[in-house]
Amino acid sequence: MKGPNFFFIREFLGSQSTNPLENLRDVQIPPILDRWELAPGWWFLSFLLFFFIFFLFWLFAKTWRNKKYRREALIELEAIDLRRQKTGDDLVFLQESQTLLKRVALTAFPREKVAQLTDLEWINFLGRSSKKSRFEDPVAEVLIDDVYREKLDQPLNHHEIKALLRFWIKNHKALVPTRPNKND
């Protein structure tokens, strides 16, 4: 084996030692990082997530506080209906329901716009403030006419009236931001 290729092979083999494990080194383990040694981007993302969660909690609490009058009105509506079931007096049911609606409206809207409303203007206001045409039905007319009568001409459909009142209490769009009382 003579020639130029043999020379390179012999040089290559001659430069290597006989023990192939001689050039091996131990495995280098990276240093253990502290848990708080994060990159600045992760810190920024963590703070952003924290403030987002805080903002959602604050928004939920504010909404919950602002809708307190609605929850109380719905509870009172149930109490009015229970009294009607016990006594069977439809006129008292209508009067108390109308009073409840007026109080809720005075809580959610400016007094100047709500206090003087009566009859058809009142029903139109209820329809406009809930943005639905449910107050154009004959059921809503009972809230106008039958409150001031001494005796009802026809039997009252309590379920529809209660559903209508419940709908308005839940769905009206308040103009005045409600603030909780200092006593709450």
Q: What is the pLDDT of residues 128-142, one digit of tens each?
A: 887 777 777 777 677
By mean pLDDT, which of 6-10, 35-39, 151-155 is the weakest? 6-10
As a whole number, the mean pLDDT across the chain is 78
Strand, helix or coil at 142? helix
Place of tokens 């992760």: 42
168 or 177: which leads in pLDDT = 168
DSSP H/E element including 17: none
> What distance in Å separates the CA atoms of residue 3 and residue 31, rounded to the nearest whole number?
52
Rounded alpha-carbon distances, angstroms, from residue 49 to 38, 40, 59, 131:
15, 14, 15, 37
pLDDT of residue 184: 44
CB 114 within 8 A of CB 105: yes
Q: Using one digit for the tens of pLDDT, what is the confidence trace for 43-81? A: 899 999 999 999 999 999 998 988 888 889 999 989 988
Integer Cα distance of 123 and 125 in angstroms: 5
More confident residue, 16 or 172: 172
Position 159 pLDDT exceeds 60: yes
